[in-house]
Amino acid sequence: MKKVQLGNTDLQVSQMGLGCLYFGARDSKEKSFRRMDQYLAAGGNFLDTANIYSHWIDDQTKGGESEKMIAEWLQARNNRSEVIIASKVGFPYPGTEYGTSKEQIKEEFHKSLKRLGTNYIDLYYAHTDDFGTPMEETLEAFNELITEGKVRAIGASNFKAWRLERARQIAKRNNWQSYSAIQQRYSYLRPKSGWDFGNQVAANQGLFEFVKDTGISLVAYSPLLQGAYTNPNKEFKEHYQGPDTDKRLAILDEIAEETGATRNQLVYYWLMNRDPEAIPLIAATTDEQFKEAIGSLELDLSEDMMKAMTETKF
C-alpha cells in the first residue's frame, strides 16, 4: 500500500485508512486486534478514531472504547512509531457537551491521550464545525497543542469549503498551522442536491476545488454507504435514490463484469484515483470484506473506465 503526503505536512499516511469506529464496542478485542494486524501487514499505517466512538452501541458503551482498544494493541505490539493515529473532538458523548472551545479541546485532548496510552496524537480533528465558538479560539487551542509537541497536525471534519478557507486565512494571519486534512462523507454515488445530512457534511464540488487549490488532504468516511452497494438486504437511503444513482450503478456493473472487480472495489479505486484523490476509510466487518477492500489496490482501470465512472463533475 503506497503512502501519500498528508496535506502540506511531513506526515506520510497510507492511501487507505482504517476506520476504528467499533473497536472495543461492537468489535471484540480479538476482532479489533486481528483487523489492525491485517491492516498493518497490508502496508497500512493510518488509524482513524474519535473520543466519542462508540457511545451509542448499548448501555455499557460510554465513548472512548475505540481509543482504549487501540492503546491495548499498541502496547501489545510495541509499534507506536509505525502508525499515524487520528482522533477527534467536538461531538457530545456521556459526560461531555458539544463544542470546540479552547477549554473543551484541551480537556478532551488529554482524555484521548490517556485512553490511547501515548504522549502525542499525529492528527487531531475538529469533528464538527462549532459555530458557537470563535474559529480563532479553536485554532489557537489546536496550535498550542502543536507548539507543546503533543499534536503533529490538525484536521477538520464536517466543514464546508468556505469555513475551511476562513480557517486558512485566520491561521495565515496568526502564523499558525491550519487544517491539513478534511474528513467528509464521500462515496461514488452522489447525494441529491441540497440534501441535509444533519451533523454530517457531504463532499461537493466546492470542496473538491478547495482541496485542489490548497493541497489539503481529503479523507472519505462512509465510502461504501453502509454496505448498500453489494448487500441485497440493504437499500440506498433516500438521499441517493433516483435516476443519477441508477445510471452510475449501471456503469459500475458494466466495469465490474469486464474487470472481475466488485462494486465495492471499484468505489474504493475511484475515490483513490480521481481528481482530487481521496483517502477512503476501510470499515470492514468481516475478514472477507477487509480482503475485498485491500484487493482494490490491485486494480488498474483504463482512462476510459475512469472517465465513464466519473461521467460528469459533481
Evaluate whether 156 touches 192 at the Cβ level (below 8 Å): no
pLDDT at 311: 79
**Which among 157, 176, 191 is positioned nearest to 17, based on CA atoms?**
157
- Ramachandran region of residue 268, left (φ > 0), alpha (ψ -120 to 50) or beta? alpha
**Which among 107, 84, 102, 106 is positioned nearest to 153, based on CA atoms?**
84
Residues counted in the chain:
314
Percentage of residues of the chain with pLDDT beyond 90: 94
Omega before residue 276 within 30° of 0, cis: yes
Would the CA dihedral through 129, 195, 190, 250 be positive or negative?
positive
pLDDT at 312: 55
Say whether pLDDT at 314 is over 80.
Answer: no
Average pLDDT, the chain: 96
pTM of the model: 0.96
Cβ neighbours of residue 224 under 8 Å, at least 6 residues apart?
187, 230, 264, 267, 283
What are the cell numbers at 294? 485491500
pLDDT band at 287 (very low <50, low <70, confident <90, very high): very high
**Which among 263, 243, 247 is positioned nearest to 255, based on CA atoms?**
263
What are the cell numbers at 154? 490538525
Evaluate whether 282 touches 39 at the Cβ level (below 8 Å): yes
pLDDT at 72: 98
pLDDT at 313: 46
Domains and CATH numbers, the chain: 3-310 (3.20.20.100)
**Which among 97, 40, 19 is positioned nearest to 283, based on CA atoms?**
19
Query: pLDDT per residue over 171-219, tens digit each?
Result: 999 999 999 999 999 999 999 887 889 999 999 999 999 999 999 999 9
Query: pLDDT per residue over 40-93, tens digit each?
Result: 999 999 999 999 999 999 999 999 999 999 999 999 999 999 999 999 999 999
What are the cell numbers at 273? 484515483
